[in-house]
Structure 1
Amino acid sequence: MKQLLGFVSFVLIAQGVGGLAHHFGWFDLWGLVHRVGFLDGYELYAGVVLIVLGLAVGGLAERIRD
């Protein structure tokens, strides 16, 4: 379970950073935030939310005992 939450945390943080990078024009190759239609105009906020959620899931993964 700890490894699964760690992986989910990584994916959330990576997608959040990718969304922010795409929003600022630094990186245009991957990321899902800019491809979701209902997030048009809110890509920046969605990227920040994904990063914060990824950090929260990562913190939860660290608190779980093996």
Structure 2
Amino acid sequence: MKGLLEVLGFVALVQGALGLVHEFTDWDVGLVQRLGFLDGYGVWASAALLVLAFALFAAAESRDPG
């Protein structure tokens, strides 16, 4: 379970960072800009993904390794 939380946290971290890169540089990277219902909320969605990533990392650290 700890490994799954870490992988999900890493994916959320990467997608959040790529979403912010897309919003500020107009590079065509990341998943956030490809989701139509998030149109106009890219910065907020990317920031939420970054917060989610850190929460997942914290949850993974609080779990037992077994």
| TM band (smaller chain) | over 0.9
Counterpart of 1:6, as a letter, is E
User: What is the Cα deviation at residue 18 of structure 1?
Assistant: 0.4
Identity %: 46
TM, length-normalised to structure 2:
0.92
Residue correspondences, number:
65
TM, length-normalised to structure 1:
0.92
Tell me, which stretches of 5 or more residues in structure 2 are unaligned?
Answer: none
Tell me, which stretches of 5 or more residues in structure 1 are unaligned?
Answer: none
**Corresponding residue for 2:31?**
32
Aligned-residue RMSD, C-alpha: 1.0
Q: Distance in 2 between matches of 1:58 and 1:27?
A: 27
* Cα-to-partner distance string for 1:28-63 (whole Å, 9 max, x where unaligned): 2x3100000011110000000000001001100001
Counterpart of 1:51, as a letter, is L
Q: Distance in 1 between matches of 2:61 and 2:18?
A: 24
List structure 1 segments (4+ residues) > 2 angstroms apart after TM superposition.
none
